[in-house]
Structure 1
Amino acid sequence: MTYLASPTRYDTMEYRRSGRSGLQLPAISVGLWQNFGEVNALAGCRDILRTAFDAGVTHFDLANNYGPPPGAAEETFGRLYKSDFKPYRDELIISTKAGYGMWPGPYGDGGSRKYLVASLDQSLRRMGLDYVDIYYHHRPDPATPIEESMAALDQLVRQGKALYVGLSSYSPEEMRRACAVLRELGTPCLIHQPKYSLLVRDVEEGLLDTLAEEGVGCIAFSSLAQGVLTDKYLQGVPPDSRAARKLGNGAIDESQLNPANIEKARKLNELAKQRGQSMAQFALAWVLKDPRMTSVIIGASKPQQVLDAVGCLKNYQFSADELAQIEVILKG
């Protein structure tokens, strides 16, 4: 059956400008890190992405190694793009990344020009796209000069294979160096993608200030701590959860499922109830409260999880008292 996007898809979503660029992203983006691999039914993947786009989520975030196995998520997206989303290409922001191990040998990992260029060519073939909107270096590579990695990103923009470039998991110092190189090349950095949640707050130690100074947007991943900051684990580990299945590929950081974090989540959940929010909505709203945040990436295994996440936009303002209570809970 032919997919026709909802005519009201732009009525309620909030869009935020990425740094000092002209590009706006939806406050909620959908990532294909898990749940879009070979083990996942195509129909379920289709339902998730259709639900997201119908709710105004215009940004789908991928990487070369997303799956499992690596490459599978891009292949799944390519099939759905061809069947459902091709007519809406100019309404979509598609991002992908390279930086982690992808194929054997010395040229399938890191930050060399060889790897970054070859990886994007492979990603475009898997997805059936002429270009991606954002291409990220997925992580800094200490063995490769930043100048080489940034020159590769600049080259790909000039070749028309990417419209914008981004960086992920760079430190404040690395960001300043990379941004300076990119500006000199004429391809400024659009956005940075760090891990950021109520339980992981390293970005507050200089990164957010650096991004604001550099005019770079910020899009957070793992803001639900891979499910810890939802109601999923409040009563223990469900047998059908990723933690129980131990899927690998970074599916769940089991160290986060410790008694202290679970207890924090239970107490935060009580605050969420007082605000009329689910635990997930509460956690996402907390990240989005900062005006320096452009978007937050969510993963979803069911369409309803997308709608629940979007619902956080109804209230992402926190009173001083609420923020104080949160800090007390987090300090244990």
Structure 2
Amino acid sequence: MTYVASEDRYEGMIYNRCGRSGLKLPAISLGLWHNFGGIDTYENGRNMITRAFDLGITHFDLANNYGPPPGSAEETFGKILSRDLKAYRDEIVISSKAGYYMWPGPYGDWGSRKYLVSSLDQSLKRMGLDYVDIFYHHRMDPETPLEETMMALDHIVRSGKALFIGISNYSPEKTREAIAILKDLGTPLLIHQPSYSMLDRWIENGLLDVLEENGVGSIAFTPLAQGLLTNKYLNGVPVDSRAASASVFLNESNITPDVLRKIRALNQMAAARGQSLAQFALAWVLRGGRVTSALIGASKVSQIEDNVAALNHLEFSKEELDRIEAILKTETEDKSS
């Protein structure tokens, strides 16, 4: 069946300006890190992407190595784009990244000009695109000069292969350096993609200030802490969950009694607001307008629908924010108080 986008797809979404640029991003964006690879069910991926677009999600975030196997998420997205979304290409923001291991040998990892340009060429081929809207360097390379990496990003924009550039997982100090280099080159940094959630707040220690001072946007990945900030773990670790698997990102050691105490208390607050825990956590990440977009993952359509509904209640009272801070105190702080 031919896909036709919903006519009211823009009515329920909030679009935030990305830093001091002309680009606006949906408050909720969809990442294809998991569940869109070659091992996953194509039709489920297609249903999630088209439903997301119907809900006003115009930004789809990928990377060269998303899968598994690496590269297959871009291939899946390329098929869906060609089949269903080709007519809407100018309404969609597509991003990809390079910086982690992608192919063997000295040129398939980190941040050299050789790797970044070659990786993007491969990504464009997999997705059937002439350009991506945003291209990120995925992680800081401690050995390649930062100037070389930023010059590669500048070259990529000037060659027409990306409209904007971003960085991900950079410290506040290296972000400031990158911003200065790119400013001198004449291609400003558009966006930073850091991890951020109620359980992972490192960006509050300087990074958000650097971004705001320099007019750079932000998009938070893992805003639900790999599913911890959903109803999945409220009663412990389900046997079919990521934490019960061999995941290197989340396992049972992360689900401590202290974490369970926190998420259960947060869930009670969410229920009092008429929200699911996931909606509550997303609203918190977006509070105050300091984060441009929250980047969600999903394994089924209903999760996307639930997450987007977070936008119906984004406001927090001072009392609520104070209560959240009290809940999020560490176990050590609790014992010493």
Question: Deviation per CA, 1:90-133, whole angstroms, max 9, x where unpaired?
Answer: 00000000000110011000100000000000000111111000
Which residue number corresponds to residue 242 of structure 1?
Answer: 242
Which residue number corresponds to residue 53 of structure 1?
Answer: 53
**Correspondences of 1:96-175 after superposition (within 5 Å):** 96-175=96-175
Which residue number corresponds to residue 283 of structure 2?
Answer: 285
Alpha carbons of 1:200 and 1:208: their partners in 2 closer, same or farther (altered >3 Å)?
same
Alpha carbons of 1:143 and 1:210: their partners in 2 closer, same or farther (altered >3 Å)?
same
Percent identical across equivalent pairs?
A: 63
Question: Deviation per CA, 1:31-54, whole angstroms, max 9, x where unpaired?
Answer: 000011122100000110011000
Alignment-mate amino acid for residue 11 of structure 1: E
**Correspondences of 1:1-332 after superposition (within 5 Å):** 1-246=1-246, 248=247, 250=248, 252=250, 254-331=252-329, 332=331
Q: Does the 8 Å CA contact 2:237/2:252 hold for their aligned counterparts?
A: no
Alignment-mate amino acid for residue 87 of structure 1: A
How far apart, in 2, do the equivalents of 1:80 and 1:22 lie?
A: 27
Question: Deviation per CA, 1:273-324, whole angstroms, max 9, x where unpaired?
Answer: 0010000000000000031210010000010111111111111111111111
Question: Deviation per CA, 1:196-219, whole angstroms, max 9, x where unpaired?
Answer: 000000100000000000100010
How far apart, in 2, do the equivalents of 1:285 and 1:254 lie?
A: 26
Q: Which of structure 1's runs of 4+ aligned residues deviate more than 4 A?
A: none
Task: Tell me how far 1:262 sits from its aligned partner.
Answer: 1.7
SS in 1 for 2:233: coil
Q: Does the 8 Å CA contact 2:245/2:251 hold for their aligned counterparts?
A: no
Alpha carbons of 1:123 and 1:254: their partners in 2 closer, same or farther (altered >3 Å)?
farther
Alignment-mate amino acid for residue 71 of structure 2: G
Gaps of 5+ in 1: none
How far apart, in 2, do the equivalents of 1:230 and 1:93 lie?
A: 27
SS in 2 for 1:265: helix
SS in 2 for 1:104: coil
SS in 1 for 2:164: strand
| Larger mean Cα displacement after TM superposition, 236-245 or 225-234 | 236-245
Question: Deviation per CA, 1:137-193, whole angstroms, max 9, x where unpaired?
Answer: 001001011100000001010110000000001111101110011111111000000
How far apart, in 2, do the equivalents of 1:259 and 1:159 lie?
A: 52
Alignment-mate amino acid for residue 298 of structure 1: I
How far apart, in 1, do the equivalents of 2:273 and 2:191 lie?
A: 31
> TM-score w.r.t. structure 1 length?
0.97
How far apart, in 1, do the equivalents of 2:317 and 2:251 lie?
A: 31
How far apart, in 1, do the equivalents of 2:188 and 2:112 lie?
A: 19
SS in 1 for 2:115: helix
SS in 1 for 2:165: strand
Q: Does the 8 Å CA contact 1:193/1:221 hold for their aligned counterparts?
A: yes
Q: Does the 8 Å CA contact 2:35/2:298 hold for their aligned counterparts?
A: yes
How far apart, in 1, do the equivalents of 2:66 and 2:182 lie?
A: 26
How far apart, in 2, do the equivalents of 1:34 and 1:79 lie?
A: 17
How far apart, in 2, do the equivalents of 1:85 and 1:197 lie?
A: 31
| Larger mean Cα displacement after TM superposition, 23-32 or 180-189 | 180-189
How far apart, in 2, do the equivalents of 1:78 and 1:210 lie?
A: 35
SS in 2 for 1:30: strand
RMSD value, Cα: 1.0
| Larger mean Cα displacement after TM superposition, 213-222 or 232-241 | 232-241
How far apart, in 2, do the equivalents of 1:233 and 1:94 lie?
A: 32
SS in 2 for 1:90: helix
SS in 2 for 1:133: strand
SS in 1 for 2:65: coil
Alpha carbons of 1:57 and 1:69: their partners in 2 closer, same or farther (altered >3 Å)?
same
Alpha carbons of 1:117 and 1:104: their partners in 2 closer, same or farther (altered >3 Å)?
same
Q: Does the 8 Å CA contact 2:244/2:251 hold for their aligned counterparts?
A: no
Q: Does the 8 Å CA contact 1:226/1:253 hold for their aligned counterparts?
A: no
Alignment-mate amino acid for residue 254 of structure 2: Q
SS in 1 for 2:100: coil
Task: Tell me how far 1:251 sits from its aligned partner.
Answer: 5.1
> TM-score w.r.t. structure 2 length?
0.96
